[in-house]
Amino acid sequence: MKSKLKQRGYAICTQPRSGSNLLCQYLTSTGQLGNPLEYFNGPGRRALGLPNFPDAPDQQIVKVLTIGATANGIYAVKLFASQFEVVSHHVRWMDALPGLRLVYLS
């Protein structure tokens, strides 16, 4: 019987020009700490090679939990304050993202 990994993850809460791209690249390179990207930036994801990336926050949550996750069940997302405000009107963070931890980068 296969055991199902419990999903858990983190959000890098930051602002532009903070070094978050480099941090997220390092985290992704481990292959164990999720794939933190701006999943709540539909136009940006489409411009960077995902032409069918959704704009709806509930569908973006699905992307966080799938393409934002590594095989060990760790998901990751990079999040700016403006994105947090918009998405908060549509989803409840702690309900939508199991085991969510917030990491603040300034």
The confidence score (pLDDT) of residue 36 equals: 98
Residue 57 lies in a domain: yes
Tens digits of residue pLDDT in 40-97: 999 999 999 999 999 999 999 999 999 999 999 999 999 999 999 999 999 999 999 9
Domain with 30, as residue range(s), is 8-104
Residue 44 lies in a domain: yes
Instruction: State the Cα–Cα distance between residues 20 and 24, nearest whole angstrom.
Output: 6
Q: Which secondary-structure segment (H or E) carries 102?
A: strand 100-104
The confidence score (pLDDT) of residue 2 equals: 46
Q: What is the number of domains present in the chain?
A: 1
Residue 2 lies in a domain: no
Q: Which secondary-structure segment (H or E) carries 77?
A: strand 74-80
CATH code: domain of residue 77: 3.40.50.300
